[in-house]
Homo-oligomer: A and B are copies of this chain.
Amino acid sequence: MNNLLEKNFKRHINLNDKEFNIILNSIKWKVVDRKEFLIQSGDVAKNTYFVNKGLLRLYQVQENGVEKTALFAKEEWWVSDLYSFFSQKPAANFLQAIELSEVYVLSKYKLEELFLQIPKLERFFRIIQQNAFIAQNERIMDMLTKSAEQRYLNFIDKFPKAELIISQKQIASYLGITPEFLSKMKKEINS
């Protein structure tokens, strides 16, 4: 059951069996029910999560009750409310499972311990963080330069099963459009 996690680490750094076992002993395994919360807005994010199976959604709820999706995290992604996780201040986001999921759970405390025990993990998370930054930047440029229709098509391309398991409301909240506009747009695309 550790295959995906091991592959993920070894994509960026060399780890021997002893080192990988230290990591495994610091990490918990958790099955997350559909709609279960891993982080609640207002609480401190104690953990970061590696998605082994399933799909998670990180989102905020505005004062008017409207949800805005920061990101969807699919298999092989690390996800948390990073501001809260690293500052240990209250989270602005909710992290919730969209479908029945399996995650590895790594606490802030254990991660700091691991950085001391296996310093090359700094390299690993530096590269993970760097790739996440590049992806975020691409999203910003897409928001500035691409039409909602183009962004929707890119999204479906990146998350092929999106239409099956993510609600239209949630997809719209990621694209920054209303569900009504998304519905109208899809009709035009399919016509």
Contacts and interface: CB of A to CB of B under 8 A. Distances in A.
A145 B173 CA distance: 10
Contact of A143 (B62, B69, B86, B140): B140
Interface of A is mostly: helix
Interface of A: 60, 62, 68-71, 82-83, 86, 92, 115, 119-120, 122-123, 125-126, 129-130, 132-134, 136-141, 143-145, 173, 176
Which of A70, A123, A134 has the most chain B CB within a 10 Å cutoff? A134
Given A60-B145, A119-B119, A122-B120, A140 B129 contact: no
A144 B151 CA distance: 14
Given A140-B139, A143-B140, A130 B70 contact: no
A131 to B, nearest CB: 8
Contacts of A119: 119-120, 122-123
Contact of A141 (B60, B120, B129, B134): B60
